[in-house]
């Protein structure tokens, strides 16, 4: 049986770059199909209201709203679409802001077509991916998590309960739902309910984004 094609939107203001993606990506993986490309994030957002893609390749330096804001708006519209930041920008702030906005991956533009095709396929299956050259940023951020205490920071701002603060601290510490349930002596379903409430109150879609948002808030606070 033929594999279902991965339907891709490209958001990139340089026409030549968009043409290059259209030519090279399907060549490297016949299961990839670029169905539309856009010069602005606004155009992509408008198209998403009519027809969604599986994966969006999003540049950061765009006319109008930038790729970070575009990612945030699209994530609010659609929690399932996978968004890959594909940019030449590699600053700590932009990486962190992109992940907090809801990006599933962050790639630099000089990535080879073969590797980009592999990243798209992997992210479409649910993986989280960072270009190895900016992995140091993630490492530095997660080192900050070791000393992060979220109870004072989030309780008032996001209206988290005391139990939700405990669960969020354990998420930040890298504990699984099973480990949280065992440590707090509560059921797995109760942990899932707490995690769901935390994601809703922090306005994020998964545990990784909750942790990243925790880091960002700490950096801002400091």
List the CATH code of the domain at 146-221. Answer: 1.10.10.10
| CATH code matching the domain that covers 6-135, chosen among 3.40.50.2300, 3.40.50.300, 3.30.390.50, 3.40.50.9100 | 3.40.50.2300
Q: Does residue 164 carry a pLDDT above 50?
A: yes
Using one digit for the tens of pLDDT, what is the confidence trace for 188-222?
999 999 999 998 888 877 777 777 776 666 533 33
4: which residues sit within 8 A by CB, 6+ positions away?
A: 31
Residue extents of the structural domains in the chain = 6-135, 146-221
Q: Does residue 152 carry a pLDDT above 50?
A: no
pTM above 0.85, yes or no: no
CA distances from 158 to 21, 129, 153, 213 (A): 41, 28, 9, 12
**Residue-level pLDDT at 99:** 81
Compute the mean pLDDT over every residue in the chain, rounded to the nearest whole number.
84
Using one digit for the tens of pLDDT, what is the confidence trace for 16-61?
999 999 999 999 899 999 999 999 999 999 999 999 999 999 999 9
């Amino acid at each position: 049986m033929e594999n279902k094609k991965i339907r891709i939107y490209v958001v990139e203001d340089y026409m030549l770059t968009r043409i290059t993606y259209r030519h090279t990506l399907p060549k490297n993986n016949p299961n990839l199909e670029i169905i539309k490309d856009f010069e602005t994030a606004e155009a992509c957002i408008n198209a998403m209201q009519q027809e969604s893609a599986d994966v969006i390749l999003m540049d950061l330096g765009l006319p109008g709203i930038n790729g970070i804001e575009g990612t945030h708006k699209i994530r609010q519209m659609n929690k399932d679409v996978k968004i890959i930041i594909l940019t030449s920008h590699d600053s700590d702030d932009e990486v962190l802001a992109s992940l907090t906005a809801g990006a599933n991956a962050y790639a630099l533009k000089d990535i080879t077509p073969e590797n980009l095709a592999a990243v798209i396929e992997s992210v479409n299956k649910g993986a989280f991916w960072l270009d190895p050259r900016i992995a140091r940023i993630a490492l530095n951020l997660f080192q900050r998590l070791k000393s992060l205490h979220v109870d004072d920071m989030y309780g008032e701002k996001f209206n988290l309960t005391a139990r939700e603060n405990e669960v969020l601290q354990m998420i930040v510490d890298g504990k699984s739902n099973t480990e949280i349930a065992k440590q707090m002596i509560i059921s797995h379903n109760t942990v899932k309910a707490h995690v769901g409430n935390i994601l809703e109150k922090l306005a994020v879609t998964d545990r990784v984004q909750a942790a990243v948002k925790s880091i960002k808030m700490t950096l801002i606070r400091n």
